[in-house]
Amino acid sequence: MHILDQLMKSVVRIEAKMGNGQISTGSGFAYRFAVREDGSHVPAIVTNKHVIDGAIEISFPVSTADRQGNLTGKFENIQYSIDGSNVLLHPDDSVDLCAILSAPIYNHFKGRNLQPAIYSFDKNISTIESEFSELLPMEEVTMIGYPNGIWDSANNGSIARRGIIATIPGDDYLGKKQFVVDMACFPGSSGSPVFLANFGSYVDRNGNLAVGSRVKLLGVLYAGPQHRANGEIVVVPIPTSSRPIAETSIPNNLGYVIKSLELEPLEAMADKLLTSEFSESANAGH
């Protein structure tokens, strides 16, 4: 499978059902945390906290494949309740990231000779601190998700968009581990992964033409500046639904992206969770 196909198949369309019955949509992507040498890991869907804030239930349309990995051409809608036991929240309240533990998705297909056709990434694709310093402003980036909840409902397909890095990547914009992209960011785009995806060749910081490809997870979209009718500029989370509001806000076609570095605290939390499960299993054996 081509890496671009993998990128498109790594994202999921999240529908969140609120306590009042309202349905909102967001985006997320599959990620393997705490990968061990024996292959054990913690499967999860990474998204923004505000995508599932107040939700009592979430659902994902999940494409299926047989045990050999051949796509069936079908998908199923997987639903399960949200509570404190199946979500890892980034420990910093100001970082709008969480990981929805997705083992129930895989368990759903056990015994049916099926598996979910979701491509999961891990920390090997995440950009590290030194790599951000090597990137240039105005680098072309790709965001994949479900703007305005739009999707290919016949094939469970996602939507890709292109833009550029609008700030200096090595800087922490406004003192936080984030950067800005010049890209239209609509309701439903919350939680979309932002990738560096160059193929064939690219120019590095020193002006050298590098032959080959670069594919890196740069971060996760979560917010964007908007200006109001009175001229005030505010930064707001990318909404999860389009709904009438009393005050007119006009997007500036800019998005704030949490750097992939902020996945590390979730990695540590998942590692503790996996270690605890191994310990409990061992004790049960005795």
Q: State what percent of residues in the chain have pLDDT above 90.
A: 58
Residue type, 100: I
pLDDT score, position 246: 43
First to last CA, the chain: 44
Q: Tell me: pLDDT of 133 over 70.
A: yes
pLDDT score, position 59: 92
pLDDT in tens, 95-107: 999 999 998 888 8
Give how far Cα 112 sits from Cα of 2, 71, 107, 116, 245, Å. 27, 14, 10, 11, 46
| Helix residue ranges per DSSP H, 19-140 | 49-52, 103-109, 129-134
Residues 220, 257 contacting (CB under 8 angstroms): yes
pLDDT in tens, 155-184: 999 999 999 999 999 999 999 999 999 998
Q: Tell me: pLDDT of 82 over 80.
A: yes
Q: Tell me: pLDDT of 125 over 60.
A: yes
Minimum mean pLDDT range among 44-48, 70-74, 199-203 = 199-203
d(CA 261, CA 133): 13
pLDDT score, position 229: 54
pLDDT score, position 244: 41
d(CA 140, CA 218): 12
Residue 152 or residue 250, greater confidence: 152
Residue 274 or residue 99, greater confidence: 99
Q: Tell me: pLDDT of 245 over 50.
A: no
Q: What is the pTM of this model?
A: 0.88
pLDDT in tens, 4-36: 999 999 999 999 998 888 888 899 999 999 999
pLDDT score, position 224: 79
pLDDT score, position 178: 97
pLDDT score, position 285: 44
Highest mean pLDDT among 74-88, 114-128, 268-282: 114-128
- What architecture is domain 3-277? Beta Barrel (2.40)
Q: Tell me: pLDDT of 284 over 80.
A: no
pLDDT score, position 180: 96
Structure tokens at 110: 């056990």
Calculated CA dihedral for residues 270, 275, 281, 283, nearest 10 degrees? -140
pLDDT score, position 282: 42
Summarize the confidence of residues 194-216 as an average pLDDT. Answer: 83
d(CA 242, CA 180): 23
CB atoms within 10 A of CB 19: 9
Summarize the confidence of residues 143-149 as an average pLDDT. Answer: 90
Mean pLDDT rounded to a whole number for the chain:
86
Domain coordinates of the chain in residue numbers?
A: 3-277
d(CA 137, CA 169): 6
Q: Tell me: pLDDT of 61 over 80.
A: yes
